[in-house]
Amino acid sequence: MRSTPRSGAARSRLRRGLAAVAVAALGSTMAVVTATSAQAAVTCDVTYTTNDWTTSPGQGGFTANLTVRNTGDALSSWNLGFTFPNSAQRVSQGWSANWTQSGSNVTASSMPWNGSVPTGATLSLGFNGTWSGSNPKPTSFTVNGVTCGGVTPSPSPSPSPSPSPSPSPSPSPSPSPSPSPSPSPSPSPSPSPSPSPSPSPTPSPGPRVDNPYAGADGYVNPDWSASAASEPGGSAVANTSTAIWLDRIAAITSGSAGNNSKGLRDHLDLAVAQDAANGSTPVTIQVVIYNLPNRDCSALASNGELKVAQNGLNRYKTEYIDPIASIMSDSKYRNLRIVAIVEIDSLPNLVTNLNLAACQEAKNSGAYEQGVAYALGKLYAIPNVYNYVDAGHHGWLGWDSNFGPSAQLFGTTAALATGGKATVHGFITNTANYSALVEPHFSVSGSVNGQLIRSSRWVDWNFYIDELSFAQAFRQRLIQEGFSSSIGMLIDTSRNGWGGSARPSGPSTSTDLNTFVNNSKVDRRVHAGNWCNQSGAGLGERPRANPATGIDAYVWVKPPGESDGSSTAIDNNEGKGFDRMCDPTYGGNDRNGNNPTGALANAPLSGHWFSAQFRQLLANAYPPIS
């Protein structure tokens, strides 16, 4: 399970803000800048695209994405400026820049990590906004005070076909916060030898599509589908694609515990049959790789079977990864798009939870880093496999003391793989978690009665308040760390809808900071560190491809209705312990601010079917189930 540490609470350095989801692409503008300032000749292209939606007659919201290409002298810092044509247009939250607005004038200034822009380099930044009356696009931009020249319209991106992910049950991690009142030191992964490839032959890497979800259908797990359809109203979502979880060695051949009786080859064979019946549309099947030694070192509900001290790393390679790679490389599966979700809740623990013995052992032994690197190298060698590495969520890594160090650790770990950073096709956030996709009613950069939103108890000085803004900003940080600029992000939206009668319809009118935030946020948890079987949660956005800039897909990796962990201790042979964060009577710990857990009662072991949870998720779905 993930830890959700708070970090750097006393610091108020201005950083990146937040993005929002968009639904209808409306247009773009491009400005070409050519001029000379006292310090550098500024020549650049600025492309401005928007996706707009209506919240009520005559008003709504929008997401603006800007691409700035530097065709002039290299810049060491930058300021982008423009003026809204309509005085009722407002920036509410932004990313990859420090955003400010005075009247209709908007300024975006560089962050510490993206101020240096070489000649020919491109910047991607944007913001979420609101409008009233109309939402015309700005027609003029400035870069470092130099006014842009002509404006050339350019078409807005249109949404790609929506695929679905692929299914399967199993336990899934979620965070249990671990506060760090002062900045965590940047992790320096212990040097360890590069993992050597297994002697078993695998195909040479072949061409991969840019986005394995685009234009594809998602594999529907018949076991999960049957469980969903057996619930009242469940047939409405029973054909949605969910992920297959390989949470222990036995699951490779016999399926995971809970409602999945099939092994990996069984599911791949069924996906081939689905592909054959699909005509020319490809099938994407998602497989969660989840069995590192000392797995989930900061929690108990989904601890694994392998231990570092018991030859766990070698067993992970030879008994777990090698058999998976051998099955996936079978030529009869060559036409499938196989998405590997690599090791939920692993690497972030090495940044935030080294105060725990099991995490310290995983770090000192190199087991997490070497294990992930080995998995990346072996799976990347199969031409139709796409590796997406787990990257926590905003309530875990959103503080700067966790944000940068995590990106660095992901980079050094991927560099150990056979094939290096190219083995990573993208990253996934919010896996099996509940963080809201978008918080529409307040901005992380806003204030209430003179007090910063960031200083509220809920936000706790985090730089992000929702998952979309975090994923988009973290993608840019990962690119800075040397990953390909073509990497895409996935966001698990299986349980982050937070609909139903408790969902706020607008911002609070309270002038008390904490009351305002608590009554305005759509994420109804009492603390972002609560991760187990959350009361009040609902199904989130349905799986689809290319939903927002930099996002390959919204996915349902955690199959809705599968428990996060048991409410009470249950004897089992699956290596799963009892975590008090799944106990609704527990008063919490320092990692969730000593708050109630918000967990549902009468929950079974992680990965097992939990009917009451599924019915709640269905009832509280947002967008609602039609």
Active site residues: 345, 564
**Helix, coil or strand: residue 557:** coil
Helices vs strands, H then E, count in the chain: 13, 22
Q: Are strands 90-95 and 122-132 parallel, antiparallel or unpaired?
A: antiparallel
What is residue 75's DSSP assignment? B
Q: What DSSP element (H or E) covers 447? A: strand 447-448
CB burial string 472-504: b at 16+ within 10 A, e below: bbbbbbbbebebeeebbbbbbbbbbbbbbeebb
The rounded distance, in Å, linking the Cα atoms of 322 and 110 is: 45
The rounded distance, in Å, linking the Cα atoms of 289 and 249 is: 11
Torsion of CA 146, 147, 150, 152, to 10 degrees: 90
> Is the distance from CB of 78 to CB of 141 less than 8 angstroms?
no
The rounded distance, in Å, linking the Cα atoms of 205 and 383 is: 4
44: which 2 tokens?
């650049």
Q: At what angle do helices 367-380 and 400-415 cross, to 10 degrees?
A: 60
Residue 475 CA: distances (Å) to CA of 425, 468, 482, 483, 549 = 12, 11, 11, 9, 10
The rounded distance, in Å, linking the Cα atoms of 399 and 351 is: 12
CA 29 to chain centre: 29
CB burial string 413-425: b at 16+ within 10 A, e below: bbbbbbbbbebbb
The rounded distance, in Å, linking the Cα atoms of 190 and 413 is: 10
Q: What DSSP element (H or E) covers 468? A: helix 467-480
> Is the distance from CB of 376 to CB of 317 less than 8 angstroms?
no
> Is the distance from CB of 558 to CB of 206 less than 8 angstroms?
no
What is residue 236's DSSP assignment? G
Q: Are strands 337-342 and 385-390 parallel, antiparallel or unpaired?
A: parallel
The rounded distance, in Å, linking the Cα atoms of 416 and 428 is: 20
> Is the distance from CB of 60 to CB of 172 less than 8 angstroms?
no
The rounded distance, in Å, linking the Cα atoms of 171 and 246 is: 9
Do you know the residue count of the chain? 626
Give the bridge partners for 417, in sequence order: none
Q: What are phi and psi of 330, to 5 degrees?
A: -55, 130
> Is the distance from CB of 151 to CB of 141 less than 8 angstroms?
no
